[in-house]
Amino acid sequence: MNLLRKACLAGALALVPALLPAVGSAATVLSATITDGGTFGLSSPHHHVVRFEDGDVAGGYSFTFTNDTGWASTFGITDATVLQNATFSFADTGVTAAWDSGESFNVAPGTMAAGLRVVTRLAAGASDTLRISYGDPTALDGKREGTGTIDIAIAAVPLPAAGFLLLAGLGALGLRRRRGD
């Protein structure tokens, strides 16, 4: 009988943490090719999409990227969207994305931004860390259904096509001049 009591007590104690309300909850990763704290090559594009709800806690992510292309290149967030609206805000600080050795951007609390870019220049084999931080995810005016999203795409930043056309045109002029036409 004593053994049965101990087993029941142990089982009940094991259930207590599961029955307690969560102190804070984590955001929901909707889609990602990268994970917080990981190291990734930049020879292929990456993305990270996270949805936040009221009750999630402020925090951040960090991703380290290594230039594995074999030549110096410019990389970065080629497109980022921060969705906050009339029912949701990243309170206090908004959302910030920054490379340790490059550019950064900040989206103020309660504002929505799309098409954001932040880049870094890396030599072949070099690494840099992208840090994304966000304020307290908060539903506004008691609207518990409010959600926010941070959506980032990381890839090589292409040179504009006009640059290649300009170089081709200058090369053609140089050849023509050399021929004496």
Q: Is 4 part of any domain?
A: no
CATH of the domain at 51: 2.60.120
For residue 141, the enclosing domain spans 22-169
Instruction: Indicate the number of domains in the chain.
Output: 1
Q: Is 181 part of any domain?
A: no
Q: Is 176 part of any domain?
A: no
Residue 143 has a pLDDT of 63
Per-residue pLDDT reduced to its tens digit, 117-159: 888 889 999 999 999 999 999 888 766 667 888 899 888 876 5
Per-residue pLDDT reduced to its tens digit, 87-112: 888 988 999 999 998 789 999 988 88
Q: Is 14 part of any domain?
A: no
Q: Is 125 part of any domain?
A: yes
Residue 163 has a pLDDT of 60
Global confidence as pTM: 0.71
Tell me how far apart the alpha carbons of residues 145 and 87 are, in angstroms, rounded to a whole number.
Answer: 8
Per-residue pLDDT reduced to its tens digit, 40-93: 998 888 988 999 888 889 999 999 999 998 888 888 888 888 988 778 889 889
**Which regions of the chain does DSSP assign to beta strands (E)?**
28-32, 39-41, 46-53, 59-66, 73-83, 88-99, 104-107, 113-122, 127-139, 147-156
- The strand pairing partners of 48, in sequence order, are 32, 152
Q: Is 64 part of any domain?
A: yes
Q: What is the DSSP letter of 84?
A: -
Q: Is 8 part of any domain?
A: no
Residue 139 has a pLDDT of 85
Q: Is 43 part of any domain?
A: yes
